[in-house]
Chain A
Amino acid sequence: EDQVTQSPEALRLQEGESSSLNCSYTVSGLRGLFWYRQDPGKGPEFLFTLYSAGEEKEKERLKATLTKKESFLHITAPKPEDSATYLCAVQATTGANNLFFGTGTRLTVIP
């Protein structure tokens, strides 16, 4: 059964304090791993798709990396506006076309 576990559940950082969020996954065959950002009262906003181990993608202060068992979302010198819940999801090569989501990491960046 597909499984996505995100850690930590919540993270508080000082502005400028870099850190990483973890997404561990188990899937029969990985079609893609997705990162989303969700602000309160809003739907998730797409950030990245990663397809194969060793792949990296960057966007502003965010960098996502992928191994065969986990993905990391690295946040460099975060700002208060980076505060949000970050969701990880996987899509399997077999079966349904839907994404299977983790429960997210709630990030708070303190000025």
Chain B
Amino acid sequence: GAGVSQSPSNKVTEKGKDVELRCDPISGHTALYWYRQSLGQGLEFLIYFQGNSAPDKSGLPSDRFSAERTGGSVSTLTIQRTQQEDSAVYLCASSTFVGLGANYGYTFGSGTRLTVV
């Protein structure tokens, strides 16, 4: 597609339930990122995938959070046993070459607004 696609756009879930958020990056983009944006907070890095390399999971806030990227394309962010503090907008972004001197910018999707009640 022309842009980064995320689904669902909105998700309301009960505390304790598991949720899966999907990201379909721009075709050919080798790098994929998940960020979280809470009200009044800056974007918080969660996880980064680059090609076939092991993902950088350094931003995941707890072991309830996990993500995978299948076939170097679609990614799924899973949150187990959701808590109210998980409520936020989850943004996915993709980009092409990652390296010094590359004039790139991420292309973000519109996000999934997760509300845990």
Contacts and interface: CB of A to CB of B under 8 A. Distances in A.
Interface in A23-70: 31, 34, 36, 41-47, 49, 51
Nearest to A39: B110
A46 B109 CA distance: 12
Interface residues of B, number: 29
- Dominant SS at the B interface? loop
B107 A101 contact: no
Contacts of A87: 42-43
Contacts of A89: 43
A97 B56 contact: yes
B31 A44 contact: no
A103 to B, nearest CB: 4
Contacts of A51: 101
Contact of B106 (A4, A46, A103): A46
B45 A102 contact: no
Nearest to A89: B43
Given A4-B42, A96-B56, A44 B108 contact: yes
Given A36-B105, A46-B106, A98-B59, 17 more contacts: A4-B42, A42-B110, A42-B111, A43-B4, A43-B111, A44-B106, A47-B105, A49-B104, A49-B105, A89-B43, A93-B100, A96-B56, A98-B48, A99-B45, A100-B45, A103-B40, A104-B42
